[in-house]
Structure 1
Amino acid sequence: MSLLNSAAATGSEPVAAVADVSMHYGSLTALDQVSLEFPPGVTGLLGPNGAGKSTLLSLLSTARRPAGGTVTLLGEQATKGAGVRRLRRRIGVLPQHFGFYPRFTVLEFTEYAAWLRKVPAAGRREAAREALRHVQMDRHADRRMGELSGGMLRRVGIAQAMVNKPALVLLDEPTVGLDPAQRVGFRSLIRGLGEQSAVVMSTHLAEDVAHVCDRVAVLLEGTVRFTGTVSELCALPHGDGSADDAPEVDGGSVEAGYLHLAGAEAVGA
């Protein structure tokens, strides 16, 4: 298996894809000719801070346009104008830090997100309530956003990301700042999202990839160094990366596979 090409035959058409995309911030290259496909299920973007993960999510969300290459979403190239605005209505985004008016109630905030994503007025409140039920926050619908704990805020963040029943969900470091019990519950939510949508999750936590993801792409210094199944990543320190070599998938074996790639890069292998 090539470390630069996915060995996982999913049998599903990609919901999103990037081809040879590059992104620069002044003299800094954030992404360098990155090509990836994102089929239904949960795909993890694993890498350290500064690897280009958040930049890639910003391209998939249409918040930014690449300096070079193409971004394809739901079968359409994302360029400018009405087409992009239409695509945005089918995308849900949870930034690592999302803004909110603290005096909004949980229901008001989620309903506001539905309005932003052009959910029809007649069904907007019920869409908000359904999203809150999915994340077990419906009983807190009348609480003020400013009163919520960190874990509760992240749940509301998931609710606002899914209120429009998106085909593509983008999650940027969704479990950062959560305690271990909250992280376990949040992983269950993300797995559930992957049964309905294509989910792309940026993280630097090997445990999240092990417990949540179907596939993983490792980003280092703005380039893709591996794409494949989580089992194939775990197999790298133990064999040639084939499924037959794969050890049991857990946080430690995902981390070992990642460090194998990072270590090889460090010595120029």
Structure 2
Amino acid sequence: MVALDGVSAEFRSGVTALLGPNGAGKTTLLSLLSTARRPDAGTVRVLGETVRGRAGTLRVRERVGVLPQAFGHYPRFTVREFVEYAAWLRKVPGRERRQRALEALRLVDLERQADQRMGVLSGGMLRRAGIAQAMVNRPALVLLDEPTVGLDPAQRVGFRTLLRNVGERTSVVMSTHLAEDVAQVCDRVHVLLDGRMRFTGTAAELCAQAPGQAGAAVDGPALEAGYLAVVERDTDGVRT
């Protein structure tokens, strides 16, 4: 079985959504882009670099930030120590790590919690700390896998604002199943199905894939309708 088949995508500045059913290849694509996984065959190029060998892999890792759906942390680390550790992993020079960590914490509005233990943070604050560690190396590309899963409605609203702010600084790719998050945050959308990219365009263009939805307001239901139209059309053998 081929997990990904000739996938090529341009991720511009701002926030791009990666949509697709379970098993479509979204997490596999993110893991390849982050170099956490190597392809069984073929070539992976990220930010103009071919991910091949230790040197190429490290060059990509130093320019990418990652927030997995479930990210590990030591509960006894302070928030600052957690972000500084991420800086060390991404080869940020030692003399810059503390300042970079504080810069990242300011970005996510966690500067006042810098000395709190990770184990006492709320779910929303943990996600903010996750974004901070992903941003500590000033990445050209940030990869987020289901970043709002587990957040309550109020936390999700705050997190959307944070993602828009991050998207003003770099390219963000967010894998998600939540159409409302896409409607509120994302500039562009990619739909992945059976390991191939089936749609690329703006959120409004995805809405317009559903019959009678051209020019409709971009919201969660309209996006869901457009997404389902793409999936059903492709299932019937028509490529988008």
| TM-score tier after normalising by the smaller chain length | over 0.9
Structure 2: give runs of 5+ residues left out of the alignment. none
Consecutive unaligned residues of structure 1, counting only runs of 5 or more, are 1-27
Q: 2:217 aligns with which of 232, 248, 252?
A: 248
| Identical amino acids, percent of aligned pairs | 68
| 1:228 counterpart SS class | strand
Separation (CA, whole Å) in 2 of partners of 1:53 and 1:105? 32
The more displaced of 30-39 and 45-54 is 30-39
1:100 aligned onto 2:69: no
Q: Which residue of 1 aligns with 2:192?
A: 219
Give 2:46's aligned residue.
73
Q: TM-score, normalising length from structure 1?
A: 0.84
Quote the residue 2:226 is aligned against. Answer: 257
TM-score (norm 2): 0.93
Amino acid at match of 2:94: A
Pairwise CA distance, 1:49: 1.9
Residues 192 and 198, structure 2, Cα contact 8 Å, conserved in 1: yes
User: Could you tell me which of 29, 32, 37 is aligned with 2:2?
Assistant: 29
State the distance in 2 between where 1:255 and 1:247 align. 13
Aligned pairs (5 A) from 1:78-227: 78-227=51-200
SS of residue matched to 2:8: strand
SS in 2 for 1:35: coil
Once residues 10 and 94 of structure 2 are traced to their aligned partners in structure 1, the CA distance between those partners, rounded to angstroms, is 34
Q: CA RMSD in A?
A: 1.6
Counterpart secondary structure, 1:81? helix
Which residue of 2 is the match for residue 14 of structure 1? none
Q: Which of 35, 40, 45 matches 2:13?
A: 40
What is the deviation of 1:194? 1.3
Contact between 1:46 and 1:216, CA under 8 Å: does it hold in 2?
A: yes
Superposed CA deviations along residues 140-197 of structure 1, whole A, max 9, x for unmatched, are 1111111111111101000000011111100000011101111111111111111111
Q: How many residues align?
A: 238
Large movers: runs of 4+ above 6 Å: none
